[in-house]
Amino acid sequence: QQTQTMSPEDTASSGYQEPSEILKRLFLPPKTPGLNLSSDYRWLIYTGQPPLPSIELLARKEEKLAGLRFDPVLLAPSRLDYCFDLKAQPLSPESTATSLTDIP
């Protein structure tokens, strides 16, 4: 089963319109980063939150098994929980946050 995306012409004929940039900035602002404290209380970790999923992603068919939701085409979880833009900051008065890169 293939997922089809709608072209701009299709969306216009269906009545769906993209909101203006002002409305997008107002209602879809970047999410607040998550904060985690290391077990030794010496580091603060900032985790960037992913943007909201698209309507196309939310509309995909999913199956439920033992309380888990999965995509029957991909055979993978349908809702992934992840973070990006990791930054670590030592908890000292003069410290600054450092971006963490090359992490698998």
What is the mean predicted confidence (pLDDT) over 71-97? 85
Point out which residues pair with 34 in neighbouring strands.
47
Residues 14-45: pLDDT tens digits? 677 788 889 888 887 778 889 999 999 899 99
55 found inside a domain = yes
91 found inside a domain = yes
Which residue, among 56, 71, 78, has the nearest Cα to 7 in the 3D structure?
56
- What strands lie across the sheet with 68-71, from one edge to the other? 63-65, 68-71, 76-77
4 found inside a domain = no
For 54, the domain range is 34-104
How far from each other are the two terminal CA atoms of the chain, in whole angstroms?
30
Cβ contact 77:69 at 8 Å: yes
76 found inside a domain = yes
Residue 85 or residue 104, greater confidence: 85
25 found inside a domain = no
Residue 2 or residue 25, greater confidence: 25
How many independent structural domains does the chain possess?
Answer: 1
